[in-house]
Homo-oligomer: A and B are copies of this chain.
Amino acid sequence: MLVSDYILNFLIKKNVKKVFLITGGAITFVVDAFSRNKKISYIDCGHEQASAMMADSYSRMGPNFGATMVTSGPGATNLLTGIACSWFDSIPTIHFSGQVNTNELSGAVKSTRNVRQVGFQETDIVTMAKPITKFSYRIKSEKEIPYILEKAHYLAISGRPGPVLIDIPMNFQRLKLDIKNLKKFKKPKSKNLNLKLKNQIDKTFSLLKKSKRPVIIFGGGIEISKSKDKLNKFFEKFEIPYVTTWSGLDCCYHNQKNYIGTIGVYGSRAANFTVQNSDFVLNLGSRLDTRITGGKPETFAREANIISVDIDKNELNKQRGLKNKLKINFSVKDFLINFNEKPRFKSNEEWINICNNWKNKYPMVLPEWRKQKKYVNPYYFIEILSEELDSNSTIIADDGAHLTWAVQAFKVKKGQRFFSAFGNSPMGYALPAAIGASIANKNKKIICIDGDGSIQINLQELHTVSQNKLPIKIFILNNNGYGIIKQFQELYLSKRYEASGKGVSNPNFKKIAAAFDINYTEIKNHNKMRNQIKTLIKTNRPEIINIIINPNQKIIPKLQFGKPIEDLSPLLNRDDFNKNMLIKIIKKDKKLIEIN
């Protein structure tokens, strides 16, 4: 069997049905194996960056596993931004880069060790990918390929998942492989730590029972550990106010009993008040980064016993001000399976009512926005879109202002997926990710929420949409500039909109759509918006819908530097604010806030 055939057979075993690739000199032999294999095929992409993002999204959608193949040099370096998406969001993906023949590598003979390049398009992708992969490795002999592939796959999916990269010099790609007598990868035996987990769960439950104002945070770890199916039982048994991070957004649904909202610097006031007044936080799989805690983690849930469950002990040990009462270094899945065996628990009615009242009192879409005459209000647009989408929909948002509007206003329905490349947050993720999602599951309705700046980054993939007849609905939230930067400049740089509003411009999206034979619609105001959306999301072809937003549209609410997350801007009237703060802010914390 040829090495190239072995690689494809391996990928088939690991649930890869489509590989996202661009061919090139150094990967041609591997790609050739597709001609001999009917069980796996490929999508020819317009840019390797997009390939990596498609693979990322393909893995997120499941049940399959995302893979790319690219040539050496620029083919490989083009992957990096996409690989970083998988790294920061803990998505298992595998990337194969071709490499020059081993005798053409710098360092193959001692005297070439410091030469910039020996073989054509030789680049040290292994070193470059190391900071953003769990495993980045150059094949040194064809004999180690079976071992390395299994090891790479194991590392990608185990513990805290993430991407892996395997660099294969051309000379190995075309060899025959006698798989007898080769070293096999053995998965490390997992230690039986059930007792420890059981003890920690007992402790958690006992703290919960003592608590008066508990809250549960659902983070990205729910999806990453594939434990959404464990939540039904959890919700049924434990009646406690629930909040989510952005990565955990689709763990709850908007109208769900006891679901309050998303937390963080762009969170909902209701959810932030809930966490900031709580005396018990069970954090299920959020790394509680500064977009959640605010710039001063010590002000986050400052009177609560915080219990964090995270597969990555480094996240538990960060010590950046936030103090975990209990660090549970297990997968969220293991935690949920065991915690679900605890007796039913309902937190006190009064607390639940207070939280739900906040949710009603501080809706994310304000009534006056719905009446806006000029331009489309992005919050109202997202509200309508979410009302019209059914539970079979997957929503993928890009970055910056439009991502924030989408997360803030979207009312998730049960069964829907909603994601973005939250940690890396590159411009240009949503379109290729929508392609990857659509290929992962043809039966899902895929919604891409993009920006006028962001969509340009992977514009070439509109051809992939068109060519593969993917019925993706691409909404461009068009505020004619980089809105989130403009808002920052308005606050801190006296409205000097350098390179965000000034000096930037957009192509004509109507003509762009026509260029790729994609149907185009422009929505400039609220008049017929609901009907237009209703119709367009039902078609069986791709659609580009250009939503014209006020260039000065703000993100509302938003935390200002130095404030604790209960105090989002625009600031509430102090009386109202104080009434909402059930706990007294401790002195030390007050000082901290005053200093900043």
Q: Which residues of A line the B interface, CB within 8 A?
A: 21-25, 28-29, 31-32, 34-35, 42, 44, 46-47, 49, 73-74, 77-78, 80-81, 84, 87-88, 104, 109, 111-112, 114-121, 123-124, 127-132, 162, 287, 289-291, 312, 314-315, 317-320, 423-428, 456-457, 459-460, 462-463, 466-467, 482, 484-485, 488-489, 493, 496, 498-500, 503-508, 511-512, 514-517
Taking a contact as CB atoms closer than 8 A, the residue among B25, B84, B318, B484 that contacts A115 in the complex is: B318
What chain B residues lie within 8 Å of A44 (beta carbons)? 499, 503-505
- Asked if A84 contacts B77 (CB within 8 A), the reply is yes
Q: A515 with B504: in contact, given A32-B498, A74-B425, A87-B116 (CB under 8 Å)?
A: no
- Asked if B28 contacts A425 (CB within 8 A), the reply is no
Taking a contact as CB atoms closer than 8 A, the residue among B32, B127, B314, B459 that contacts A459 in the complex is: B459
What chain B residues lie within 8 Å of A319 (beta carbons)? 109, 111-112
- Known pairs A49-B78, A74-B426, A120-B290. 14 more at Cβ < 8 A? A24-B482, A28-B489, A31-B499, A77-B81, A80-B128, A84-B123, A115-B318, A116-B162, A118-B290, A120-B289, A120-B291, A507-B515, A508-B515, A511-B514
Q: How far is the CB of A289 from chain B (nearest CB, A)?
A: 7
Q: A123 with B131: in contact, given A28-B488, A74-B424, A515-B514 (CB under 8 Å)?
A: yes
Taking a contact as CB atoms closer than 8 A, the residue among B116, B119, B425 that contacts A121 in the complex is: B425
What chain B residues lie within 8 Å of A514 (beta carbons)? 511, 514-515
Q: How far is the CB of A478 from chain B (nearest CB, A)?
A: 14
Q: How far is the CB of A96 from chain B (nearest CB, A)?
A: 13
Q: A515 with B512: in contact, given A25-B484, A42-B499 (CB under 8 Å)?
A: yes
What chain B residues lie within 8 Å of A74 (beta carbons)? 81, 84, 424-428
- Copies of this polypeptide in the complex: 2
Q: How far is the CB of A239 from chain B (nearest CB, A)?
A: 34
What chain B residues lie within 8 Å of A78 (beta carbons)? 49, 81, 426, 457
What chain B residues lie within 8 Å of A423 (beta carbons)? 116-117
Q: How far is the CB of A594 from chain B (nearest CB, A)?
A: 19
Q: A23 with B482: in contact, given A319-B111, A515-B511 (CB under 8 Å)?
A: yes
- Asked if B457 contacts A47 (CB within 8 A), the reply is yes
A515 to B46 CA separation, bound complex (whole angstroms)? 18
Q: How far is the CB of A158 from chain B (nearest CB, A)?
A: 16
What chain B residues lie within 8 Å of A109 (beta carbons)? 318-320
- Asked if B456 contacts A46 (CB within 8 A), the reply is yes
A312 to B484 CA separation, bound complex (whole angstroms)? 46
What chain B residues lie within 8 Å of A462 (beta carbons)? 507
What chain B residues lie within 8 Å of A124 (beta carbons)? 131-132
- Asked if B516 contacts A507 (CB within 8 A), the reply is yes
Q: How far is the CB of A28 from chain B (nearest CB, A)?
A: 6
What chain B residues lie within 8 Å of A460 (beta carbons)? 456-457, 459-460, 507
What chain B residues lie within 8 Å of A505 (beta carbons)? 44, 463, 467
- Asked if A315 contacts B457 (CB within 8 A), the reply is no
- Asked if B127 contacts A131 (CB within 8 A), the reply is yes
Q: How far is the CB of A86 from chain B (nearest CB, A)?
A: 11
Nearest 4 CB-CB pairings of A with B: A74-B426, A23-B499, A515-B515, A511-B515
- Asked if A485 contacts B128 (CB within 8 A), the reply is no
